[in-house]
Structure 1
Amino acid sequence: MNDVIIDPLGAPAPAPRTPATGPAPGPARVDVDLWQLRVDHLAEDELDPSELDAEERVRLAGPLRVADRLRYGVGHIALRRLLAPRLGVAPAEVVYRREPCPGCGAPHGRPAVEGPPGAPHFSLSHSGDVVLIGIAARTVGVDVEGFPKAATVREVTPALHPLERAEITAAGETPEAFARVWSRKEAYLKGLGIGMARSLDKDYLGEHDPSALPEGWDVRSVPTADGHAAAVAVAGPLGLVRTSWLPASFVTAGSAGTPA
């Protein structure tokens, strides 16, 4: 399966799907649910932070810019409300932990939920006007990027993999071309759990040569809002990717939050 299902903005959020079963050659494909929200339709005082834990509330009250606080609040409230029904708990009862860093082994790697065996894997990203959340049965990384300034493209492109640089150059070094490559790279690095501690020129995550992608990983660009690029990466072959837009009311005070 190589399908991407796109639910229109404002459509009811679908319930968690039951993955298809049946024999298949090679490693089992993993389906991914992607959830997107627009933050430019919200104000801080509309959010409901009551379900956040102490660490999240400290971060939300910290010296962040208003836009950063809004993105952080929307992302973390939505994540709890999406994970809660899958774990059979209330959003405030979702507990997170950090997996070991693949580089040094310290507990500052990929975030995960404390839960029984088979608990869902997740990844969260926010940039510009969009929050993106991915949930899957296997290790997953997602990233969304607002198109950067031309100066950022010029400064960062030389640090990328040679084949990625070639793709961006062939596309005229446009912010969109850079964002598409960068979102794929960040999704992969977040899936690894090592982030920017890994050299940016070590791995190819471009779109032109799927055979050159890191062994054991599948990466796909996904549709998102205008002026942004987004991608998802999983350990193992990707199956069905479903991307759904959640309404702003999903994270507001007084909302039940649970997808229909």
Structure 2
Amino acid sequence: MKIGLVIAAFNSAENIERAIESFLALKNDCNLVLSAFHAVFEEYSSFGVSAGSDIETIEILKTLKNENKLNYLNISEIPLSEAAARTLALEPLLKENVDYVWILDAQDEIYTKNEIKNIIDYIKKNQDVSVFKICFQNHVIEENTVLKEAFIPNRIWKVKNPPFILKSFNWDNDCVYQNGEQLASDKFFRSKTIPQNQVFVKHLSWVGSKERLISKINYQNLHFGEKVGGFGCGYRWNYGEDKLEFNPNYFASVKQQIPETKILVSCIEN
């Protein structure tokens, strides 16, 4: 079984080396092909963020490619939609004839080697499944504070679902399959969540530098707000107290309670 890893790397200098460390350690044993992309998403560009503002990440990526740790690296000088940027890294993996495609957000997803092995074992036992969802433990505001509820997005896609074959991303965590001129959303194919008691991945979704978090808030307010007629971001920056906090206006708009959190006593990684 051959697995292609799409690595979303923009503005990930804080965590990218932690994010890919376990994948690099298992690259040969697990037959992984790593394809990273760096692109400024259109929403970031609209409030003045350019590719040149993230030189630190670009330099890390170039070093990883020069050391042959990455099989492919695409750096876009023009702003792209999130789906187009992810597809940029997907295309060489499809040419490599990988069996599955796995998306990794290098800003905040930290897998252990055991978690990766457990996921691959689960895929091998469920080869009739086309889309796998992974349970993430969201760390918010402080690294030892997590949401009580898991975040469970699509993360792995089977490439060939005869007569359909994986074609592209069409949203953050959604893909399109193709059969000739016929296109089909991944929602029409069988999906399954890998049980949380087997895999519960560390997700540093809302911790990090003030600059990165404010930029992420601005992005989500456009991406999930103005762009699609939604309600924007569930977090805001409290400039008076200089800290991140939940955005009560968002949760009132979507008629949800502010999420419950808990403090982790310890965190043991394998």
Instruction: Tell me the TM-score normalized by structure 1.
Output: 0.28
Larger RCO (CA under 8 A, 6+ residues apart): 1
Kindly indicate which of the two structures has a greater share of residues assigned to strand: 2
